[in-house]
Structure formats: C-alpha cells, structure tokens
Amino acid sequence: MTLLSPRALLTRLIAFDTTSHRSNLELIAFAANLLADRGWQCVMTSDASGEKQNLFASLGPRVDGGLVLSGHSDVVPAMSSGWESDPFTLREADERFYGRGTCDMKGFIATVLYAGQSLAASALKRPLHIALSYDEEVGCLGVPRLLETLDPHYPTPRHAVIGEPTMLQAMGDHKGILRARACVHGKAAHSSLPELGSSAISAGAGAVASFYRWLPEASSRYSGLSGNIGLIKGGTAGNIIADLCTFSCELRYRGEVNVEELLGELQRVIAPAQLDELLCAAGLTREGNEELLERVLRLAAHPEIGSVPYMTEAGLFQRSGMQAVVCGPGNIAQAHQSNEYISLTQFSAGLAMVEHLIAGQCRERAGER
C-alpha cells in the first residue's frame, strides 16, 4: 500500500477549504479512509446539520494508558487581500510551506497522519488515538461532541497532546472563556417623537458602561479575569429610535471558576440586557498533568513549561479525565494571517516529536510510566 509523504499529506489537507462556515466532511472522509485502510478503528460524530464531523480513530490494545494526538480541522477565513498565492494550494518558498492552515493546524495533522499510516497495531503496547474536531475556531464547538462519544471499547485515554502551534514548547495552562450575546429591547418610534419610543441603544450603552465599571473589581476577585465587548449593533435608521441593541460579552479566566456564578453576576451587571447564545470552554491547568508534562518536556524544543494566552481544546480533554498539554509545530504569530506558513524546520521537528510520542506507546506497557 502506497504511503503518502508528509508534504503530500499537507498538500491534500490544505486543498480542503474547511473554513469554519463551510463543511469539513471531505477532509474527515480523507483522513478516515487513509487510517481505516491501515487497520484503525474510526468513529465519526456529526453536528446537528450533518455538515460537520469529528473523527476519533483508535489503534492498539484495549488497555489503560492511551495517548490522543488531537487537532482541529477548521481554519479561519482566507481573505484575498495580502495573499501572494492561492490560500488553498500549498506553496513552498523560502524554506516555508505557505497556505491557509499550514500553521494552524493542518501542519500538525499532516505529521500525525503520516506517522499513523505506517504504524502496525501489533507494535503498540498502549492504545493510540487520533482526534480531529470541527469548529474549534468559532468556540470549540466540535470536541465536546467527540468526547461524549469516545469509543466504549477503549478505556478513557490517559494523555492528550493538542498540537496547536507553540514552536514545540510544552504549554501547561491557558484561560477558560465565557462568551455570550447580550440583547436589549426597546420601542421603535420616529426620532421627532422620542416620547413615543424607548431607545435600546441608550439602554445598551448603559449596560456596556456598567460592564466596564464592574470589570476591575471582578478581576480582583476572580484571579486572572479579563473581559471585552468587541461588537455592538443597534438600530435601523438615523431617524428611528432603536428597538433592538445587541453586543458581545467575553470573559476569560484562569483556574477553576464557578461559571454559573460568574454568569449570574454578569447578568445582574448588564441588566436590562439579557444574555443568550452562550459559549463556554474550559481552561487548562497544570495540576494533575505532571506525568504528561514531564513526558512532553523531554521532547520539546524549550526547557521550560509555558502558558498560552489563547483558548484551545486542551481544557476540554482535561475535564473529560485526561492529562492534557498544548504542544505543536509552528509559530502562533502566523496563525490567522495572510500568507500563513510553517517553516520546513518546524514541520520536520514536529514530525520527529510525534514519532517519539508514538514510540513511547510502543515501548511502554499498560501500568508502566
């Protein structure tokens, strides 16, 4: 059976336009077929529309000590401005691979699929899993569904490495996120007769001001709390009193937080606005992850464990009972940019890390460290 090279795999992955508002079914089918043909047990889970899928592929003995190598299949939009080539056609130049997703995070996925396609189940002493999720970029929407339906024939994996671009530094923690839309309703009227209406924009502006007055005090009680209102909309015309105003609310926090309590406090602060369209993704903590951090640190490119300021799926894996770490090839500064790239050096080093992690599953027996 012909094996695809790392570059060939990356070329195929980049060619799938998996921008978050599009379907990822073709990419998932490609990865599942490649792995299933080589003996992997593949389970797909879908969103409500059926246009998005996760893949959870498993190989090896059904014993404790499983390792998950995880990446998200979706990418952010590739606006035409600034791109020097087709974002969905891999281009090699200046010792770099260019294309949307090369860094975030199809480069990592290509290395995982390359290593996985040539692996024999008989070589594994502990199980190996590959997880590909949908809609990470719009709020980690896919991975909860994936984790709900882990293969019941395998024990819960012990370790999960999420290959976000960290320049191969092991990252042990990041903030959680709480995001919602806030809505304020008013009453429309002609602006020449303001007494007949009630401005939703005026009430919304008051709620926004209240949010920013509350934030410094809340940050002193919730360690590491930060917040932002990055979007506000309202009204239909300059001569009509607005009957609706909406704005985004985002809070990021470190450590264990009672999210329901924090959400209730936020709701009281921004009243009369009402929160809806809630999104919440867990943060990642180092506590309880010492074994995996030690394992990855031996392979990482940096001698110290770091932290990332952005959200990943790692906290969700940790909440499901696994030790989790963020570590992958590429520079996060290239993510979401025009002419996104991963250096050939990082790509090769990422493959080496993945192969060493898999080699650990081949050497170690269940119950051993």
Q: Give the tens place of pLDDT for each residue, 1-24.
A: 688 999 999 999 999 999 999 999
Q: Is 303 exposed, middle or buried (0-12, 13-18, 19+ CB in 10 A)?
A: exposed
pLDDT band for position 154 (50/70/90)? confident
Model confidence pLDDT, tens digit, residues 281-304: 889 999 999 999 999 999 998 999
Catalytic choice (104, 136, 164, 173): 136
Check: CB of residue 150 under 8 Å from CB of residue 286.
no
Q: Among this protein's residues, is 137 annotated catalytic? A: no
Model confidence pLDDT, tens digit, residues 28-51: 999 999 999 999 999 999 999 999
Q: Among this protein's residues, is 148 annotated catalytic? A: no
What domains, with CATH codes, occur in the chain? 6-174+283-363 (3.40.630.10), 176-281 (3.30.70.360)
Whole-angstrom distance, CA of residue 250 vs CA of residue 233? 16
Model confidence pLDDT, tens digit, residues 202-220: 999 999 999 999 999 999 9
How many angstroms from the chain centroid is the CA of residue 216?
A: 28
Whole-angstrom distance, CA of residue 226 vs CA of residue 252? 5
Long-range contacts of 21-30 (CB under 8 A, 24+ apart): 21/77, 23/51, 23/52, 24/52, 24/53, 24/73, 24/74, 24/134, 25/51, 25/52, 25/53, 27/73, 27/132, 28/53, 28/54, 28/55, 28/73, 28/132, 28/134
Kindly report whether the global pTM for this prediction surpasses the value 0.85. Answer: yes
**What pLDDT is recorded for position 364?**
59
